[in-house]
């Protein structure tokens, strides 16, 4: 018995690549397909068990990173999924839709810029039309650019971060609410930056703290309506967000090495959290922030 148990154990320290990594600058927003090593979104590893059968999900930033991992997991748990992404990320998005459809589920890709209020409204309406409803909303897309000095942070750069990370979830959630019945869920991707901000992520860290407040306030407002609202606060996760300016290239070479596990997380390692928060079995979890930071972080 002991041998069979030990054979199923995986040491999290050695499960995925550790630094040093190669410098690999990409233009915003970056592609997972060009990263070295390629991130694991659960393409081969995630096994579903029907936990979200019949559900209908909209995921922003679903072409790569954490959003892609959630999209794959949701489809393998039985949900139909719409992902949103930027047009520059088309090749990554095509891969995700193919994976969703391979599970026999409906997968739709809607390209567009969520810093536009008009597009956010259109995104929700089109998603509802394609899915025949909506009961899972994942506000995941984010903008992150490291800037060493406040003096170098432009108003345009600050505005892009605020609009992507704060305005877009507000616009999208507001548009989605009329379609969300009791039992629906809203999940927001925050960050450890909300609790322990880095000196070079001045604007991003503020938005991630705002995401935490968004979750906790909205959970209180929507709880009586039977709609749960939760968040996830990742630590360093190996995604295009990081290599396309989210971290300086000098930091990419040692990315994740300061965690107790000695490596960055992979998007696949967060997929089960997004499934758990969407699952009706987690019906008493609302207003919560779930951490996944390799041993660091506060939630």
Q: Residue 239's pLDDT is what?
A: 98
Q: Residue 5's pLDDT is what?
A: 57
User: In angstroms, what CA-CA distances link 192 with 64, 233, 291?
Assistant: 20, 5, 8
Question: Which residue positions in the chain have pLDDT lower than 70?
Answer: 1-7
CA distance 128 to 242: 31
- What's the whole-number average pLDDT of the chain? 96
CA distance 116 to 231: 23
Q: Which residues pair with 80 in a beta bridge?
A: 56
Percent above pLDDT 90 for the chain: 96
CA distance 198 to 207: 13
What is residue 100's three-state secondary structure? Answer: helix
CA distance 138 to 98: 20
pLDDT tens per residue, range 89-116 = 999 999 999 999 999 999 999 999 999 9
Q: Residue 299's pLDDT is what?
A: 77
Whether 204 sits among the annotated catalytic residues: the reply is yes
CA distance 112 to 126: 12
| Homologous superfamily in CATH for domain 52-292 | NAD(P)-binding Rossmann-like Domain (3.40.50.720)
Q: Shortest CA distance to 115 belongs to which of 58, 172, 63?
A: 172
In eight-state DSSP terms, residue 39 is: P
CA distance 40 to 26: 19
CA distance 94 to 105: 15
pLDDT tens per residue, range 187-240 = 999 999 999 999 999 999 999 999 999 999 999 999 999 999 999 999 999 999
CA distance 62 to 50: 20
Decide: pTM greater than 0.85. yes
Q: Residue 1's pLDDT is what?
A: 47
Query: What residue spans define the domains of the chain?
Result: 52-292
Q: Residue 6's pLDDT is what?
A: 66
Map tokens 């606060």 to a residue: 233
Q: Which residues contact 159 (CB under 8 A, 6 or more apart)?
A: none
In eight-state DSSP terms, residue 289 is: E
Q: Which residues contact 220 (CB under 8 A, 6 or more apart)?
A: 287
What is residue 196's three-state secondary structure? Answer: coil
Catalytic residue selected from 74, 108, 195, 204: 204
């Amino acid at each position: 018995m002991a041998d069979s148990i030990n054979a199923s154990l995986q040491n999290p320290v050695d499960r995925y690549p550790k630094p040093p990594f190669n410098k690999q600058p990409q233009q915003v927003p970056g592609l997972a397909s060009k990263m070295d090593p390629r991130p694991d979104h659960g393409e081969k590893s995630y096994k579903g068990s029907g936990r979200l059968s019949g559900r209908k999900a909209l995921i922003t930033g679903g072409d790569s990173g954490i959003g892609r991992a959630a999209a794959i997991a949701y489809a393998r748990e039985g949900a139909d999924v719409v992902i949103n992404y930027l047009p520059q990320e088309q090749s990554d998005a095509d891969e995700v839709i193919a994976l969703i459809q391979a599970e026999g589920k409906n997968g739709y890709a809607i390209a567009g810029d969520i810093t536009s209020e008009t597009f956010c409204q259109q995104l929700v309406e089109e998603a509802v039309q394609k899915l025949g409803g909506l009961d899972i909303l994942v506000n995941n897309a984010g903008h992150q650019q490291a800037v060493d000095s406040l003096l170098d942070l432009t108003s345009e750069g600050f505005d892009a971060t605020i609009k992507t990370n704060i305005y877009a979830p507000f616009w999208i959630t507001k548009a989605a609410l009329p379609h969300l019945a009791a039992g629906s869920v809203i999940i927001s991707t925050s960050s450890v930056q909300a609790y322990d901000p880095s000196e070079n992520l001045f604007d991003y860290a503020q938005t991630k703290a705002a995401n935490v407040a968004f979750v906790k306030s909205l959970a209180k407002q929507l709880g009586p309506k039977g709609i749960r609202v939760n968040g996830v606060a990742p630590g360093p996760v190996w995604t295009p967000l990081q290599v396309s300016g989210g971290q300086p290239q000098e930091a990419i070479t040692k990315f994740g090495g300061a965690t107790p596990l000695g490596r960055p997380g992979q998007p696949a390692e967060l997929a089960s959290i997004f499934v758990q928060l969407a699952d009706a079995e987690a019906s008493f979890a609302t207003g919560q922030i779930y951490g996944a930071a390799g041993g660091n972080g506060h939630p």
